[in-house]
Amino acid sequence: MNETVLPWRQWVPEFVLLALVWGTSYLFMREGAYAFGPWATSWVRVSLAALMLTPVLLWRGEAGLLRQHWRPTFFVGLLNAGIPFALYAYALLHISTGLSSILNATTPLFGAVIAWFWLGDKLNALRAIGLALGFGGVVLLASDVTGDISFKAGGSGVAVAACLLATFCYGLAGSFTKRYLQGIPSMVTTSGSLWGASLGLCVPALLTWPDAWPPLRAWVALAIAGLLCTALAYVLYFRLMTRTGPARAMTVTYLAPVFANVLGVVFLDETVTLWMMGCAMVIVLGTALASGLVQRRT
What is the model's pLDDT at position 246?
A: 60
Q: Is residue 9 part of a domain?
A: no
Q: Is residue 82 part of a domain?
A: yes
Q: Are 83 and 206 in contact (CB under 8 A)?
A: no
- Residue 163: which domain range? 17-290
CA nearest 98: which of 238, 280, 292, 233?
280
Tell me the C-alpha distance between 205 and 42, whole Å. 8
Specify the number of domains making up the chain.
1
Tell me the C-alpha distance between 239 and 38, whole Å. 29
Cα dist. 23→84, 148, 187, 258 in Å?
Answer: 16, 26, 23, 7
> What single letter denotes the amino acid at residue 223?
A
Q: Is residue 2 part of a domain?
A: no
Task: Quote the pTM value.
Answer: 0.86
pLDDT tens-digit profile, the chain (298 residues) = 444 556 667 777 888 899 899 999 999 999 999 999 999 999 999 999 999 999 999 999 999 999 999 999 999 999 999 999 999 999 999 998 988 988 888 887 888 888 888 887 777 888 788 888 888 887 777 766 644 555 555 557 889 899 999 999 988 988 888 888 888 888 898 899 999 999 999 999 999 999 999 999 999 999 999 999 999 988 888 777 767 666 566 677 777 888 888 898 888 888 888 888 888 888 888 877 876 666 655 5
Q: Is residue 3 part of a domain?
A: no
CB atoms within 10 A of CB 108: 28
What DSSP designation does 291 have?
T
Q: Is residue 28 part of a domain?
A: yes
Tell me the C-alpha distance between 270 and 172, whole Å. 31
Q: Is residue 127 part of a domain?
A: yes
Q: Is residue 296 part of a domain?
A: no
What is the model's pLDDT at position 149?
A: 52
Q: Is residue 6 part of a domain?
A: no
Tell me the C-alpha distance between 215 and 8, whole Å. 43
